[in-house]
Amino acid sequence: MNKPVILFVSYLLFIIPLFIIINFFLGVVTFEKLQGVVIFFPLVLSFIGFWLALSIYKRKESGFAKGAIVGNIAMFLFPIVYMIMGTVFLGV
C-alpha cells in the first residue's frame, strides 16, 4: 500500500475508538451487551494504528505521521488511566 492510505488507516484506527469512548460518556447509543468495548478496542486498534504510523514515520518524517503517533499513544493510554483513576477515586 502507498503511504497516504496507511496514514489514513492509522488515523482511522485512532478515530473509531475515540467515537466509542465519547459515546460511552454521552450515552448516545447503549452497548449493553458489549460493555468491554470501551476498554478493549482502544488497546488493540491504537496499538495497530501506532505501528502503522511509526512505519510511515521511519520511511519519511512528516507531521501527519507524528500526529497519528501521538493520537494513538494517547488513545492506547486512555483505558489504562481510566481504570487506574476508577480504582483510586471510586475504589471499584
pLDDT at residue number 92: 66
pLDDT of 73 above 90: yes
Digit-coded pLDDT (tens) for 15-39: 988 888 888 888 787 767 777 777 8
pLDDT at residue number 62: 85
Specify the length of the chain in residues: 92
Domain residue ranges of the chain, discontinuous segments joined by + = 3-90
Q: What is the mean pLDDT of residues 53-77?
A: 90
pLDDT of 55 above 70: yes
pLDDT at residue number 25: 82
Q: What is the C-alpha to C-alpha distance for residues 79 and 92, in angstroms, rounded to an integer? A: 15
Closest by CA to 11, choosing from 75, 80, 77, 59, is: 75
**Element of type H or E holding 74:** helix 63-85
Q: What is the C-alpha to C-alpha distance for residues 19 and 75, in angstroms, rounded to an integer? A: 11
Digit-coded pLDDT (tens) for 56-66: 999 888 888 89
Q: What is the C-alpha to C-alpha distance for residues 72 and 86, in angstroms, rounded to an integer? A: 22
